[in-house]
C-alpha cells in the first residue's frame, strides 16, 4: 500500500469509534430535561452519567476501534488495544502526579500499534515449548509488555505533547476567523478523498483542554462542547449552514436542471439525498454528483464552506454535534449551544446563494450532472443489493482482484491487485456516484448510505465459492427485462429466462465463453453452450427468420467463442424497416440449472460491457442431486 492507501485505512479506522457518540448526545439531551420537576430526579442523573461515561472512556473506544479498523475487524487486535489502554491508564494515573490524562491520541497510537502488530505477528510460530504464546496470543503478550514500557516513557513525553497541543490550539484560535476559514477549506477538500476524518480527529478530539466541575479533564472541541465548555463549538458550528441548507440546495438545482424526461427519476433520488443531508449531515451523495463533472465548482464549494466557518466565528456562534451537522444534532444539542438560532437565517441565505450559483453554473458550463445525460443517479435499489452485489464484485475485477474491502458511511474503501481491471462504466451503471483512485491499488467507490450493505454482500460472495456465470452485453443498446419483449413466447419465458436488448449497431458479440451449438440457416439466431453447461440463445429481432440476406455469420457451429467476440453482423437499417421489432432476447434455455439471477440496471449498455447479467448455478453433489 502506498502512503495514501495507508492514510485511507487510518482515516476509516479513526472514524469507527465516533459512531457511538450519537448515543452520548441523546443521553445528555435526555438528562437536560426537567426530570426533577416531573418527580424523577434520578433519571436526569443516570442519563447524564451514562452520556458522560462515553466521553470519559473515549480514549478506550478509539484504541479498540482503530485496532479493529487497522486489522480488518480482528477481535484479538481490539482486545490487545483495550488491554494496552488499561495498562497505560493505570501506570500514568499512579505515577503521573495528576498531570497526565487518558487522551484520544494515546488511544489512536495504541490502536494503530495493536492493529499493525496483529497483521505482522498473527501467524508467528515459536519454539514448540513456547508455542502456547504463538499466533494471535503473541499479539496480546507483545502489546501488554509494550504498553507498560510505553506508559513509562509517556510519563516524560506526555506533558510535552499536551503542551504542544495546547500551543497549536492557541495558535489556531489566535488566527481567529481566518484559521477557521482555512480549516473549512481543508475539511471539504480532504472529504473528497475520504481523509477528512484524520483532520477532524485533531481538532474535534485533541486540541483544547477543559476541566469539568467534577474535576475530569476533556480534550477536543467536540468533548469540550458536551462537557459545557463555553469556548467550544467553533470547529463544528460552521458546518450546520452547509449540511442543512447549502448542499440540499445543490440537490434542488440538479433536479431543476435535469431533462424533462429524466426529471421524475432524478427528483425521486435527489430529494431523498437532500433530506438525508438535511437531517443527518451525510452529504457525499450530492457532492459526488458534480465533483468529477466540475471539480472547479467543488473548489468554489470548499471556499464557501470555509467562509461559513469564518462567519459563525464572527457571529460568536457555538454549536456542536455528535455525528454530523444535521437537523437532528442541531435540535438535540441546542440546549448546550450559544447563539445557535443565527444558524437558521445564515443557512437560508447560504441555501439561496448555492441554489442560484449551481443552477447558473450547470446551465452556463453545461455540466453533465445526473439528469442531463443518461447515467447513474444513485437510484433507490437497496432491496436489490443482494442481486446487484455479484455484478459490482465483477466490475471491481472479481474476487481474485480484491485484497481488502471495507466501508465507511458513504463509500467502499478498497485495495485491489490491479486497478486496471476496474470497469468504471459498469460501476457507474450499478449506482455509484463516483470512483476515486488513490494509486497503489487503493480505491474509493461512492455508493451513498448503502455502502456498508454492499460491503457485507461482497464479503459473503468472497467467502463462498459459488458456481457463477457472468454475461457481457451482446450488443450496443438499451437493456430490457425479458417480460417487455414484444413477443408472447419470449415474454412469458416459454423459450427460457434472461434479458433483452434494443440494438443500436449492427453487431452481435458473444456474451460468454462457450461453444457455438447451432447456427440457424438465416443466421438471425444462434445457440451457445457455456463451459458450465448453460445453453444460451441469442435471437436478433422479432420474427426475423424470413429476412434472408440481412445477416452475416462470423462463426460456425462447433467454434469456440469468448466474451466480446464478433458472432454476427446484421443490417440494422433493413431490420428497422422490415422486422416487427429490433428487440434481441438473450435467454438461457435450460433455466432449471440456475439457482439465482442478478441483473444490471436496465439502461443503455456498450457492446461487450462486463456483467450485465450474472447467474449462480445449482451445486451438484456426487450423487447428482442438485442443491
According to DSSP, residue 511 is labeled S
- Using the structure block, give the residue that is written with the C-alpha cell 436496465: 602
CB atoms < 10 A from the CB of 69, how many? 26
Q: Please say whether the beta carbons of 27 and 199 come within 8 A.
A: no
Record the cell numbers describing residue 136, joined without a space.
494471535
- 3-class state of residue 160 by DSSP: helix
- Using the structure block, give the residue that is written with the C-alpha cell 438528562: 31
Q: Give Cα separations from 428 to 137, 345, 384, 457, 604 (angstroms).
A: 44, 37, 16, 18, 12
Q: Please say whether the beta carbons of 583 and 443 come within 8 A.
A: no
The Cα 64–Cα 75 span in angstroms is: 9
Element (H, E) at 596: strand 594-599
CB atoms < 10 A from the CB of 431, how many? 26
Burial of 59 (0-12, 13-18, 19+ CB in 10 A): buried
The Cα 250–Cα 302 span in angstroms is: 14
Q: Answer positive or negative: Cα dihedral of 237, 238, 239, 240.
A: positive
Three-state secondary structure readout of 110-123: HHHHHHHHHHHHCC
First to last CA, the chain: 41
Any idea how long the chain is? Answer: 627
Residues classed as catalytic: 408
The Cα 361–Cα 297 span in angstroms is: 8
Q: Please say whether the beta carbons of 54 and 24 come within 8 A.
A: yes
Q: Which residues contact 538 (CB under 8 A, 6 or more apart)?
A: 474, 508, 511, 525, 526, 527, 528, 567, 584, 585, 586
- Do the bridges between strand 209-211 and strand 217-219 make them parallel or antiparallel, or are there none, so unpaired? antiparallel
- 3-class state of residue 200 by DSSP: helix
Side-chain half-sphere CA neighbours of 128 within 13 A: 0
The Cα 80–Cα 110 span in angstroms is: 9
Q: What angle do CA 440, 370, 605 make, to 5 degrees?
A: 70
DSSP-assigned letters across all residues of 416-445: ES-GGG--HHHHHHTT-SEEEEEETTEEEE
Closest CA to 573 of 487, 525, 500, 505: 505
The Cα 357–Cα 361 span in angstroms is: 6
Q: Please say whether the beta carbons of 350 and 307 come within 8 A.
A: no
Amino acid at each position: 500500500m502506498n502512503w495514501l492507501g495507508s492514510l485511507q485505512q487510518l482515516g476509516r479506522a479513526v472514524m469507527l469509534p465516533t459512531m457511538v457518540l450519537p448515543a452520548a448526545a441523546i443521553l445528555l439531551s435526555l438528562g437536560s430535561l426537567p426530570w426533577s420537576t416531573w418527580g424523577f430526579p434520578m433519571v436526569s442523573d443516570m442519563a447524564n452519567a451514562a452520556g458522560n461515561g462515553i466521553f470519559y472512556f473515549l480514549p478506550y473506544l478509539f484504541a479498540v476501534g482503530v485496532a479493529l479498523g487497522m486489522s480488518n475487524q480482528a477481535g484479538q487486535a481490539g482486545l490487545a488495544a483495550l488491554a494496552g489502554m488499561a495498562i497505560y491508564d493505570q501506570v500514568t494515573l499512579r505515577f503521573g502526579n495528576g498531570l497526565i490524562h487518558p487522551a484520544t491520541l494515546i488511544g489512536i497510537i495504541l490502536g494503530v500499534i495493536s492493529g499493525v502488530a496483529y497483521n505482522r505477528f498473527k501467524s508467528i510460530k515459536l519454539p514448540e515449548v513456547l508455542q502456547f504464546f504463538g499466533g494471535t496470543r503473541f499479539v496480546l503478550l507483545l502489546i501488554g509488555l509494550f504498553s507498560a514500557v510505553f506508559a513509562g516513557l509517556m510519563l516524560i513525553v506526555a506533558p510535552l505533547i499536551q503542551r504542544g497541543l495546547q500551543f497549536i490550539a492557541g495558535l489556531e484560535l489566535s488566527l481567529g476567523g481566518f484559521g477557521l476559514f482555512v480549516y473549512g477549506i481543508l475539511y471539504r477538500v480532504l472529504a473528497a478523498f475520504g481523509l477528512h476524518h484524520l483532520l477532524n480527529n485533531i481538532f474535534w478530539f485533541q486540541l483544547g483542554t477543559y476541566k469539568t466541575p467534577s474535576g475530569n479533564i476533556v480534550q477536543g472541541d467536540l468533548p469540550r462542547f458536551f462537557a459545557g465548555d463555553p469556548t467550544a463549538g467553533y470547529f463544528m458550528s460552521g458546518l450546520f449552514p452547509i449540511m442543512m441548507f447549502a448542499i440540499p440546495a445543490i440537490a434542488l438545482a440538479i433536479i431543476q436542471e435535469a431533462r424533462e424526461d429524466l426529471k421524475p427519476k432524478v427528483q425521486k433520488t435527489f430529494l431523498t439525498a437532500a433530506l438525508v443531508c438535511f437531517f443527518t449531515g451525510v452529504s457525499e451523495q450530492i457532492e459526488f454528483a458534480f465533483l468529477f463533472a466540475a471539480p472547479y465548482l467543488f473548489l468554489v464549494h470548499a471556499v464557501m464552506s470555509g467562509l461559513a466557518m469564518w462567519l459563525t466565528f464572527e457571529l460568536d456562534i457555538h454549536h456542536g454535534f455528535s455525528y454530523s451537522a444535521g437537523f437532528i444534532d442541531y435540535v438535540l444539542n441546542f440546549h448546550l449551544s450559544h447563539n445557535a438560532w443565527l444558524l437558521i437565517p445564515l443557512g437560508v441565505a447560504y441555501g439561496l446563494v448555492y441554489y442560484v450559483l449551481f443552477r447558473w453554473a450547470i446551465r452556463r458550463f453545461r455540466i453533465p450532472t445526473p439528469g442531463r445525460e443518461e447515467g447513474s443517479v444513485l437510484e433507490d435499489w437497496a432491496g436489490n443489493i443482494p442481486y446487484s452485489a455479484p455484478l459490482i464484485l465483477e466490475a471491481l475485477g472479481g474476487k481474485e482482484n480484491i485484497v481488502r474491502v471495507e466501508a465507511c458511511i458513504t463509500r467502499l474503501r478498497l485495495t485491489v491487485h490491479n486497478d486496471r481491471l476496474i470497469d468504471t462504466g459498469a460501476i457507474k451503471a450499478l449506482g455509484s456516484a463516483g470512483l476515486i483512485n488513490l494509486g497503489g491499488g487503493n480505491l474509493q467507490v461512492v455508493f451513498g448510505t448503502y455502502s456498508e450493505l454492499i460491503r457485507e454482500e461482497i464479503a459473503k460472495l468472497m467467502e463462498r465459492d459459488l458456481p457463477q456465470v457472468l454475461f457481457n452485453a451482446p450488443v450496443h443498446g438499451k437493456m430490457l427485462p425479458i417480460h417487455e419483449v414484444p413477443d408472447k413466447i419470449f415474454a412469458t419465458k416459454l423459450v427460457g429466462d434472461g434479458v433483452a436488448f434494443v440494438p443500436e449497431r449492427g453487431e452481435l458479440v458473444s456474451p460468454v465463453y462457450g461453444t457455438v451449438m447451432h447456427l440457424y440457416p438465416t443466421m438471425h439466431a444462434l445457440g451457445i453452450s457455456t463451459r458450465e453447461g448453460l445453453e444460451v440463445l441469442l435471437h436478433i429481432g422479432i420474427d426475423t427468420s424470413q429476412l434472408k440476406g440481412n445477416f452475416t455469420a462470423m462463426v460456425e457451429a462447433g467454434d469456440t467463442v469468448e466474451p466480446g467476440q464478433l458472432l454476427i453482423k446484421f443490417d440494422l437499417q433493413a431490420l428497422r424497416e422490415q422486422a416487427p421489432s429490433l428487440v434481441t432476447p438473450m435467454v438461457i434455455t435450460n433455466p432449471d440449472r440456475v439457482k439465482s439471477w442478478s441483473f444490471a440496471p436496465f439502461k443503455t449498455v456498450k457492446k461487450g460491457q462486463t456483467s450485465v447479467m450474472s447467474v449462480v448455478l445449482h451445486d451438484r453433489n456426487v450423487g447428482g442431486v442438485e442443491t
